[in-house]
Amino acid sequence: MFEGVIPAIITPFQRNSSMDLDLEGLRSNIRFLLANGVHGIVPCGSTGESATLTFEEHEQVIEEAISAANGQVPVIAGTGSNNTAEAIRLTKAAKDMGADGALVISPYYNKPNRSGLIKHYTALADIDIPVIVYNVPGRTGQNLPPDLVIELAKHPNIVAIKEASGDIGQISRIIEGTLDDDFQVISGDDNITLPILALGGAGVISVTANVEPARMVAMFEAFCEQDLETALDLHYELSPLFRSMFIDTNPIPVKKAVELRGMAGGPPRLPLDELDKEKTQKLREVLATYE
């Protein structure tokens, strides 16, 4: 259902005292991504600073993303929360606005038990919108084990997982265990996207694609065409940029990178702060190699 290179888009803010949404900048960034061949977009994910958006802003960003995409690619709205009632509200709103799917991070901080996780995801999938489970233990403090994901995949509306555990063995086990289901595994780590594709993954929900969408798309398409030499060359060409996107907490580096490229970024919202001068210089040097 969802495949290819799908940027987890940033949320641009204006450089004013209240850090208002930069909606024109958001639209401009999406036009750039579409022109470079991406296969979908994810507004209001972790990269989109969903944790510091109000409900109203969250819905504004999703609505603008759907409008800007204009049916050209799927829009998968980030609608997760560590509060099931809030996640239901956000997911229902995304569905009503016309989102093609919902990306739902596993509940952070709470560390729910197995039955709680199953009930949480089932409640969201029952809203009747395609749901992508998002496993990112580094942010949530809790890994979703393969047997749990395999069980969730039995729900007809739980269609994929964004896997950012970094555990190739775990990712392989999930793919193995869902071969008979209409279920996809999508990379959540740019730097291991190519190995995940080789295991049978469907694509990547990407940070780096905000900055270098054309190269990311070229890597994916080369793999799909079985041109493994080109795909591998592009993987290693992009690897320094993959690493630079995480020289500080995401999305601090990627927001600075798009600004350095002349796109809309703005500062991250507190408690995240801007990239310091030393790291900004390192980022400039990496970006210069792609010009």
Active-site residues, by number, are 134, 162
Q: Where are the beta strands (DSSP E) in the chain?
A: 4-7, 76-78, 101-105, 131-135, 158-163, 184-187, 203-206
Is residue 8 helix, strand or coil? strand
Q: What whole-number distance in Å separates Cα of residue 94 and Cα of residue 173?
A: 31
Structure-token pair, residue 54: 């109000």
Q: What whole-number distance in Å separates Cα of residue 152 and Cα of residue 115?
A: 11
Q: What whole-number distance in Å separates Cα of residue 258 and Cα of residue 121?
A: 34
Q: What whole-number distance in Å separates Cα of residue 224 and Cα of residue 51?
A: 35
User: Which residue has 């690897």 as its token pair?
Assistant: 239
Residue type, 115: S
Structure-token pair, residue 34: 């579409």
Is residue 244 helix, strand or coil? helix
